[in-house]
Chains A and B, each alone.
Chain A
Amino acid sequence: MATSTLGAAWLVDESDKLNKKKPKRIVKHKKKAWRVTSNVEDVERFLESKRLDERLGAPLEERPSDSLFVVDTKTEADKTVKSEPTKKRKIKEIGPLRCYAILTPNSAVTDPLKKRNRVRRPEERGDPLLRKIMEERRANGKIPTRFLQSMKHHQENVEALAKKKKPERLRTTFDFDLWGDAGNSLMIGDKKVSALDLSDELKTYTMEKMGKRIYSRPPTMFKKTTGLKPVEYPHPGTSYNPTYQDHQALLKEAYNLETKEMKEEVRTRRRLGPMLKKIPVQRKEEDWWSEMTQGLGDDEEPAKEEEEEVPCVRPTKPKTRKQKIRAKALKWQDMRRKKLKEAKKRLLEFDRLRSIRREIRKSEELTAKRIEIRKKEKEAKMFKPAMLGRHKYVPPPIEVNLSEEITGTLRGLKTEGHVLIDRYKSMQRRNIIEPRIRQTVVFKYKHKVFTKRSHSEPKGLKVGNRDKDKTPVQ
């Protein structure tokens, strides 16, 4: 706006110069010119202030001072020091949001339409006469019974709600025998019925109708996944005050395990050794160059090699009729001979019936043996952790107190191992849960790199060598 007016002024200036000779004349006695000539600003200002007063109420000067000020006669009670408002609390303290302020009515002007249809407030509804009677009755202490009743019910509800037990994650009260009658009973409608009394058909029918059909558990699920005990008996050497032999035996076990591990480590290091060699950066670059330029130099030379003509192979000569007949006869002959040989062999086998029997016996023995071996293997498999997933089961380290750690008293006992880890490993060993390595998701955001403008050197403008100037100063 400001610019446009400025522009207009500038234009006027120009035009003034141009039209200086002819000042505009205004006819004063016509009504049309009044608006231009007469000054009604003061009237308008008055009317504007009047409208404002209408909207906002009377001006402050005219209002009684009681409505504006309060005479503070009471001492203020000691305010408790408020703690730092938490984030949640802050929201409440802010009050109604600023963005809604524009929607609230802020005019003191009464509605000019007296009969505008609007929602009546509860106290305005109904017959005014009836309302008056009711009010009188209430003042006399007469309250309708239904009102009292509802008050009572409300109170009861509130109490019941307060008494109601909080919902628990799981069952905490155990008040019936799961394997007894109560456990077997069914709820049909709101009646408890002993399941034993019902026939199977009726039971399945009701269960299906109620959407509670019981699907039978596959029999494989009742089988044990392992032959190992849930809580394995401890090695006697793990006693807090073990006998010498037991402790030595356990120590030896642990020692053997440790040495095996160390050997393995040495082995892997030896094997990986050449791969983990340190290579200087220069050589690495050279290697890279040599690798990338492989075959580039010698690419040009063999390009000239001309294609040698492959000698055309002549198709085979087809057999003559005579040859074909002959070949067929030969083939038949061969077959006949073979058959004869087979028959002869079979005849001969009558003679070696005994040896055949022996062979059969041997093969049967072998199968029996194999069956036994497989059975044993299967049994042995029951005592080993299975391969249930990508990762292999890793047995926990042996828990043993070193000889100097054994004090021989309960008070000085140094504990080893952790019961929960023991349980966890035991479950893995018994094929109940699969061994796994816990995955943790790490979000990696790509870094966006930019230099601050204030930090970077300004481009374009460069006066002399700044660094050179600065150094003597410092």
Chain B
Amino acid sequence: MGPMKKKYEAGEATKYITRAQALKKLQLNLKDFRRLCILKGVYPREPNNRKKAQKGKLDKKTLYYVKDIRFLSHEPLIWKFRDFKVFMRKMKTAMEKGDKETVARLKENKPSMKLDHLVKERYPTFMDALNDLDDCLTLCFFYSTLPRDTKVPANLISLCRRLTVEFLHYVIAAKALRKVFISVKGIYYQVEIKGQPVTMLINHQRGFKPTSASDVDYRIMTNFVDFYTSMLGFINFRLYHSINLQYPPKLPGITVKEDATDEDAVEEYNELVAALNSSLVTNVPQAEEEIQIDEFPSAEGAEKLEEAKREAEAIERLKSLFKGLKFFISREVPRESVVFVIRSCDGEVSWDPSIFAGATYDETDESITHQIVDRPSVDKQYLSRYYIQPQWLFDCINFRRLLPVEDYFIGANLPPHISPFVTERLGDYIPPERQMLLALQRGETLPAEQEEEEEEEEDESEDDSSDEEEEEGKIEKKEPTKSQVVKEKKGMKVMRGRVEMPDVKGMEEEDKEHYKFRELMIRNKDKRLYRSMMKNRRNREREAKRLENKRKQHEKEEKSLKKSTSSGKALTAKWSIQPLSATSDTQTKKMKMM
């Protein structure tokens, strides 16, 4: 036996260091330590055994890995912090002495930080950086909307604004927008960059809502933003060059010198860039590439391949969704989000020049196809264009096709705005609106039969109501229109046809039997799990059915209410489709799962 081992000299106890110890070791104050940790990406850790990690002490302390702190001690940034401390001390003395010359001289040589090496260190590859972009974008977007008189340094705010605008320009140029969702908190955008989905949350364009000091610590968040601005800048540079754009974004036709002394001119130019309304100057004319999915002759992956192909097609469609359409935005509509959405789907936009710089055409332009309005009525209406509510744009993107405009007319009661971020499990209740969305996303068109059925249903349901309503609706549909939506619809109707399947029922029966046999073949070991799975699924299905009934009831009530109050189209009835048949389709999926 060797000498007796002392307590807390090996194992868990040597792995951790408390924050106070770390401060002492690094000779920093708490503020600087926090800042350094945030910039370097060092996080506090929870030990597996707190008592051991804290060497027998029982109160809860913030712990860090010893190795992390040792790593921090080599950071050259610490010296910058010390420089800055000295600088501040000198400034203070000079200021209090009223020594203006010294103050000016000191200010000219203010120590500045560069965080390039940190970005590179934390994200060794570009893809790593893209992985962490969500947080970065959301925070930068928020900071760009802050008023100047907050505690945050003003140049940081303007830097955030610049970088975020640049990022939006990239998304527009790359047509990378995939999903949009307007929630009460803000607008969620999902963007696809190099096959990687990036989700960001941008707050609504409302007044600044102050927070209390107990809610958020601005100083901490500013440290995060400091790092994120450097990161976003480099990411922007790389992204711009990946699609052949000049990096500090340049508008075609307008030239402003880099070192122009006229601040107004620079600001005006920045505003034009921020308008998002014109495409940027490219380095080299872009060569159009069409991505073709390689075909593999494997039998198993055929279905998946098919699905992937359909997805790719849908995305292609989404990229040029608003191509050829000309929009005009009224003043009450949130300009930036709407312009961003339209432009990233290849549409043309303009607005009243008095709201913001960069408007390209006037309201009186006859070639405008859609005017986006968010008020109950408009005095002067042009016959040549649709007056629609902004939700139409967002829904179109989520559905990945142009929706019928009728439901979104000015003053109309809008159909619900559905989240595109929901993924359902098998047997879950899917509301009819969502079903529609899913079907359209998959690239399916509404089958003609179903449409007919719907119409029949409508007829049935609206039999009681006055016939005039129906006529009105039809007239609306028959209106001479320029949009492609209706044309497409008509085209679909021509192609209507029915293929008689020879022996569908027989095959289904066979499938069922096979399925039962396979169920019997399950090992005893897995049987319980399988049963519980099935039970849960049944439960979910039952719940779904219940909700469905509830929905029907609710709609009926609403309809009766509407009848009593005013005439209007029952939107929900139109959307309702029978839930996906849970026989053949689901069964095949079950098989796969097994």
Q: Footprint of B on A, CB under 8 Å?
A: 88, 91-92, 161, 163-164, 166-180, 183, 212-213, 215, 217-218, 220-221, 225, 229-231, 233-236, 238-246, 386-390, 399-401, 408-411, 413-424, 426-427, 431-434, 437-438, 440
Q: Are B114 and A170 in contact (CB under 8 A)?
A: yes
Q: Which residues of A contact B132 (CB under 8 A)?
A: 230
Residue from A161, A212, A419 in contact with B201 in the complex, judged by beta carbons closer than 8 Å: A419
Q: Which residues of B contact A164 (CB under 8 A)?
A: 108
Measured between C-beta atoms, what is the minimum distance from B47 to chain A in Å? 9
Q: Which residues of A contact B120 (CB under 8 A)?
A: 178-179, 183
Within 8 A of A (CB), among B56-80: 59-63, 65, 67-68, 71, 74, 76
Residue from A178, A240, A245, A427 in contact with B183 in the complex, judged by beta carbons closer than 8 Å: A240
The answer to whether B142 has its CB under 8 Å from any CB of chain A is yes
Q: Are A419 and B46 in contact (CB under 8 A)?
A: no
Residue from B126, B153, B211, B230 in contact with A418 in the complex, judged by beta carbons closer than 8 Å: B211
Residue from B111, B121, B237 in contact with A175 in the complex, judged by beta carbons closer than 8 Å: B237
Measured between C-beta atoms, what is the minimum distance from A208 to chain B in Å? 12
Q: Are B431 and A245 in contact (CB under 8 A)?
A: yes
A182 to B16, CA, bound (A): 38
Q: Are A419 and B416 in contact (CB under 8 A)?
A: no
Stretch at the interface among B284-292, B418-426, B446-454, B581-589: B418-426
Q: Are A178 and B46 in contact (CB under 8 A)?
A: no
Within 8 A of A (CB), among B182-239: 182-186, 188, 199-204, 206, 209, 211, 213-217, 220-221, 224, 226, 229-230, 233-234, 236-238
Q: Footprint of A on B, CB under 8 Å?
A: 38, 41-46, 59-63, 65, 67-68, 71, 74, 76, 98, 108-116, 119-122, 125-126, 129, 132, 134-135, 138-139, 142, 153, 155-156, 159, 181-186, 188, 199-204, 206, 209, 211, 213-217, 220-221, 224, 226, 229-230, 233-234, 236-238, 241, 247-248, 259, 332-334, 374-375, 389-391, 413-414, 416-419, 421-422, 429, 431, 433-434, 547, 550-551, 554
A246 to B273, CA, bound (A): 39
Q: Known pairs A230-B135, A246-B418, A421-B215. 14 more at Cβ < 8 A?
A: A88-B98, A166-B108, A171-B233, A178-B120, A230-B132, A233-B419, A241-B182, A244-B554, A245-B547, A386-B46, A401-B184, A408-B414, A415-B206, A426-B135
Q: Are B416 and A421 in contact (CB under 8 A)?
A: no
**Given A245-B551, A431-B44; A177-B237 close (CB under 8 Å):** yes
Residue from A92, A213, A233, A411 in contact with B374 in the complex, judged by beta carbons closer than 8 Å: A411
CB nearest to A236 among chain B residues = B419
Q: Which 6 A-B pairs have the closest CB atoms?
A: A236-B419, A174-B233, A386-B46, A233-B421, A230-B134, A238-B183
A438 to B214, CA, bound (A): 6
Cβ contacts A to B, 7 pairs, < 8 Å: A243-B431, A245-B431, A387-B46, A421-B215, A424-B215, A424-B216, A433-B43
Q: Which residues of B contact A235 (CB under 8 A)?
A: 419
CB nearest to B411 among chain A residues = A409
Q: Which residues of A contact B156 (CB under 8 A)?
A: 169-170
Q: Are A433 and B182 in contact (CB under 8 A)?
A: no
Q: Which residues of A contact B220 (CB under 8 A)?
A: 424, 433
Measured between C-beta atoms, what is the minimum distance from B58 to chain A in Å? 12
Residue from B42, B184, B216, B416 in contact with A243 in the complex, judged by beta carbons closer than 8 Å: B416
A173 to B162, CA, bound (A): 11
Measured between C-beta atoms, what is the minimum distance from B389 to chain A in Å? 7
Residue from A171, A243, A389 in contact with B114 in the complex, judged by beta carbons closer than 8 Å: A171
Q: Are A179 and B46 in contact (CB under 8 A)?
A: no
A434 to B45, CA, bound (A): 9
A389 to B47, CA, bound (A): 11
Q: Are B188 and A234 in contact (CB under 8 A)?
A: yes
A401 to B183, CA, bound (A): 10
Measured between C-beta atoms, what is the minimum distance from A182 to chain B in Å? 10
A166 to B108, CA, bound (A): 6
Q: Are A419 and B134 in contact (CB under 8 A)?
A: no
A400 to B419, CA, bound (A): 15
A316 to B525, CA, bound (A): 69
Q: Are B237 and A174 in contact (CB under 8 A)?
A: yes
Q: Which residues of B contact A174 (CB under 8 A)?
A: 233-234, 236-237, 247
CB nearest to B215 among chain A residues = A421
A236 to B46, CA, bound (A): 33
Q: Are A417 and B184 in contact (CB under 8 A)?
A: yes
Q: Which residues of A contact B206 (CB under 8 A)?
A: 415
Q: Are B184 and A399 in contact (CB under 8 A)?
A: yes
A168 to B229, CA, bound (A): 13
A431 to B183, CA, bound (A): 26
Q: Are B112 and A169 in contact (CB under 8 A)?
A: yes
CB nearest to A431 among chain B residues = B43
Q: Are B184 and A231 in contact (CB under 8 A)?
A: no
CB nearest to A90 among chain B residues = B98
Q: Which residues of B contact A416 (CB under 8 A)?
A: 184-185
Q: Which residues of A contact B181 (CB under 8 A)?
A: 234, 239
Q: Which residues of B contact A218 (CB under 8 A)?
A: 65, 67-68, 71
Q: Which residues of A contact B65 (CB under 8 A)?
A: 218, 220
**Given A170-B230, A423-B135; A245-B142 close (CB under 8 Å):** no
Q: Which residues of B contact A422 (CB under 8 A)?
A: 185, 201
A244 to B429, CA, bound (A): 13
Q: Are B391 and A241 in contact (CB under 8 A)?
A: yes
CB nearest to A232 among chain B residues = B199
A390 to B46, CA, bound (A): 12
A173 to B114, CA, bound (A): 11
Measured between C-beta atoms, what is the minimum distance from B576 to chain A in Å? 12
A111 to B183, CA, bound (A): 90
Q: Are B116 and A178 in contact (CB under 8 A)?
A: yes
Q: Which residues of A contact B431 (CB under 8 A)?
A: 243, 245-246
**Given A215-B71, A243-B433, A438-B214; A414-B142 close (CB under 8 Å):** no
Q: Which residues of B contact A388 (CB under 8 A)?
A: 44-46, 62-63
Q: Are A92 and B188 in contact (CB under 8 A)?
A: no
**Given A239-B181, A388-B46; A178-B234 close (CB under 8 Å):** yes
CB nearest to B135 among chain A residues = A230
Q: Are A168 and B46 in contact (CB under 8 A)?
A: no
Q: Are A225 and B108 in contact (CB under 8 A)?
A: no
Q: Which residues of A contact B241 (CB under 8 A)?
A: 177
Measured between C-beta atoms, what is the minimum distance from A179 to chain B in Å? 4
Q: Are B60 and A390 in contact (CB under 8 A)?
A: yes
Q: Which residues of A contact B186 (CB under 8 A)?
A: 415, 419
Q: Are B134 and A170 in contact (CB under 8 A)?
A: no
Q: Which residues of B contact A417 (CB under 8 A)?
A: 184-185
A218 to B216, CA, bound (A): 30
**Given A171-B115, A178-B120, A238-B183; A220-B215 close (CB under 8 Å):** no
A413 to B332, CA, bound (A): 12
Q: Are A239 and B68 in contact (CB under 8 A)?
A: no
Measured between C-beta atoms, what is the minimum distance from A319 to chain B in Å? 34
CB nearest to A87 among chain B residues = B98
Q: Are A170 and B98 in contact (CB under 8 A)?
A: no
A165 to B437, CA, bound (A): 53
Q: Are B216 and A231 in contact (CB under 8 A)?
A: no
Q: Are B98 and A238 in contact (CB under 8 A)?
A: no
Measured between C-beta atoms, what is the minimum distance from A119 to chain B in Å? 25
A235 to B184, CA, bound (A): 11
Residue from A170, A238, A413 in contact with B204 in the complex, judged by beta carbons closer than 8 Å: A413
Q: Which residues of B contact A215 (CB under 8 A)?
A: 71, 74
A423 to B259, CA, bound (A): 37
Measured between C-beta atoms, what is the minimum distance from A407 to chain B in Å? 10
Measured between C-beta atoms, what is the minimum distance from A362 to chain B in Å? 16
Q: Are B417 and A239 in contact (CB under 8 A)?
A: yes
Q: Which residues of B contact A401 (CB under 8 A)?
A: 184
Q: Are A168 and B188 in contact (CB under 8 A)?
A: no
Measured between C-beta atoms, what is the minimum distance from A298 to chain B in Å? 40
CB nearest to A212 among chain B residues = B76
A103 to B374, CA, bound (A): 79
CB nearest to B34 among chain A residues = A433
A415 to B145, CA, bound (A): 16
**Given A389-B62, A417-B184, A431-B43; A229-B142 close (CB under 8 Å):** no
Q: Which residues of A contact B113 (CB under 8 A)?
A: 169-170
